Amino acid sequence: MNSPDLIALLIVLALPCVPVLALLASYLVLKWALSVESQSQRPVASQERALPPTLLSQADHQTVGLGYVIDTLTPAAWVEPTTFLLPDPPLSDPPTKDAAAEVLIIGPAAPILIGPSENLTIGPAQRAVWDERGWTVQADLDRTTYQGQYQIFDHQQRIPRRFSGWVKETTWDVVAYIADPPPELRHHPKSVCFTPDQLPWFRVNWYIPATNVDEAILYVEKVLDEAINR
């Protein structure tokens, strides 16, 4: 039998096997397609990492993932991809010695002392000059009249000397009077300010008038003291 006849015979004999081979090929293709679809649809966690297929030989040893060792028994064997879970990273760095040694003190910035303030002394109100000298006061509709004595201490004779006087205070002026001024007043430059009014009274005239009764009394006593103790 020649070669063409042999080939034709093999084709005739193989014709009944064609449906079986086609069915087997279809089954293999369908199985491969389902495997690929299941691999693509499986969710992969954010912390997972897929390893690529690796071609290993019989004598190769390889550590994969977290210390797993793959040892092949057959040459040129394909290893399917394997997914290993990686450990979660730490939330924060471990504390150092310096951070552990820090001490947090909670309290006021500075001591606060609470105590009594300075002593407050309350005394009697300051009295007016005319009141201290013992003068009397009489108020009328348009004026106020003060009556008393001008008081001077004579240092030569070492005795107090007193001179009767009165002061008239109105809304527009203050006028002082003295009865029987001492003879020493004649030698004082201000003697011209004392003019007779109704004897024995002398009126005091000043260049700058007093604004109240206290200023009038103090001014007259100052001139008398200068005239007697000069």
Q: What are phi and psi of 38, to 5 degrees?
A: -65, -35
Residue 32 or 82, more confident: 32
The three-class DSSP label of residue 212 is coil
pTM higher than 0.85 for the full model? no
Q: Residue 152 in contact with residue 138, Cβ under 8 Å?
A: no
Q: Give the pLDDT mean for 65-70.
A: 44
Residue 146 or 71, more confident: 146
For residue 57, the model assigns a pLDDT of: 43
Count of alpha carbons within 13 angstroms of residue 196, beta-carbon side: 4
For residue 72, the model assigns a pLDDT of: 44
Q: Give the pLDDT mean for 117-121.
A: 72
The 10s digit of each residue's pLDDT in 194-223 is: 999 988 999 999 888 899 999 999 999 999
Strands in the chain per DSSP E: 48-50, 54-56, 61-64, 68-71, 77-79, 83-85, 136-139, 143-154, 159-170, 174-179, 194-196, 201-204
The 10s digit of each residue's pLDDT in 134-184 is: 999 999 988 999 999 999 999 999 999 999 999 999 999 999 999 999 999
Residue 30 or 163, more confident: 163
